[in-house]
Amino acid sequence: MMIGNKKLTQSIFFWLFRIMSTVVVLVLLTILYFVFSRGISTISWDFLTKAPEDGMVKGGIFPAIIGTLYLIGGSLLFAFPIGVFSAIYMHEYIKKGKIKSFLQLMTNNLAGVPSIVFGLFGMALFVNKLKFGDSIIAGSLTLGLLVLPVIIRTTEEALKAVDDNYRMASYAMGASKLYTIKKIILPIALPDIITGLILSIGRVSGETAPILFTVAAYFLPKLPHSIYDQVMALPYHLYVLATSGTNIEEARPVAFGTALVLVMIVLVTNLIANGVRAYYHSKYKK
């Protein structure tokens, strides 16, 4: 009787878990289905390569794609070297202690700052104080600060994964610390560092709040000429189309297409990152 009870409780709970998990997975899949099924009919070569027309209800999203590419490039150009250097110093140079835990604490704190606060900060510092105005450089720096902790964290994980024996062997040969890092540790950790870089592309491309007041333009048919120009960007474009366009209902197809492009960027960067990781890990195991 006892055993029967135990088994019964177990199967009741397992079924409950199964049902709830299925609900969760279905809801999550619905979102992907929603974006793909409604967006796919909008996507065409013209959509990707033409400027918006007719009050943004027709035409393409080319300026927004270009703007987002500029922002990805600009922010990573700034955040990637600093992030990697920072992780190298924190992991390879500082011994465990107060300074190290302070630096890690601050990095984690920065990671927890809400994206709208980055927007406020970017506006106060880059746009107003440094007088960059609404510009690619202001937006890129703001986004760069936002992904900096992400890059530091992934690089640290990558460095942690490097077997200590490599370090010891290199030192035993008389190599200096810097030489060991450059010639031994970084090459081994590189695939994982690159994975982190690729994943942060997905993050940068989708952030809206930080660019609202630092770079994003409502409508700009022209492409930017310098880093002090404003640009359109995909996530802001989607927000505008969905909420404040002149003709919201007619703009729906373009909005769905834009949403699909955004999701595709995340999907593709995820796939590439996983691919890089899997490829190098299988290579090292051999």
- Hey, which residues between 169 and 188 contact another protein (CB under 8 A)? 176, 178
Segment near another protein (CB under 8 A), from 124-132, 166-174, 190-198, 219-227? 124-132
Binding segment for another protein (CB under 8 A), chosen from 54-62, 165-173, 219-227, 232-240, is: 232-240
CB 188 within 8 A of CB 153: no
| DSSP 3-state of 247 | coil
231 forms part of the interface with another protein (CB under 8 A):
no
Helices (H) and strands (E) in the chain, counts: 11, 2
Dihedral of CA 223/229/234/236: which sign? negative
CB 162 within 8 A of CB 188: yes
Query: Residue 225 or 260: which CB sits closer to another protein?
Result: 260
Range 250-279, binding another protein (CB under 8 A): 255, 259, 262-263, 266-267, 269-270, 274
Q: Which stretch binds another protein (CB under 8 A): 51-59, 69-77, 184-192, 238-246?
A: 238-246
Q: Is 238 left (phi over 0), alpha (psi -120 to 50) or beta?
A: alpha
Whether 186 and 140 have beta carbons less than 8 Å apart is answered as no
In order of 84, 132, 248, the CA distances from 138 in angstroms are 22, 6, 30
Q: Interface residues for another protein in 1-60 (CB under 8 A)?
A: 6-7, 9-10, 13-14, 16-18, 20-21, 23-25, 27-32, 34-35
Residue of 51, 120, 220, 227 that binds another protein (CB under 8 A): 120
Q: Which stretch binds another protein (CB under 8 A): 50-58, 166-174, 184-192, 233-241?
A: 233-241
Query: Please, is 140 exposed, middle or buried when counting C-beta atoms within 10 Å of its C-beta (0-12, 13-18, 19+)?
Result: buried
* Contacting another protein within 62-101 (CB under 8 A): 81-83, 85-86, 88-90, 93-94
Six-digit token string for 184: 């031994």
Residues in region 200-219 near another protein by CB under 8 A: 202-203, 205-209, 212-213
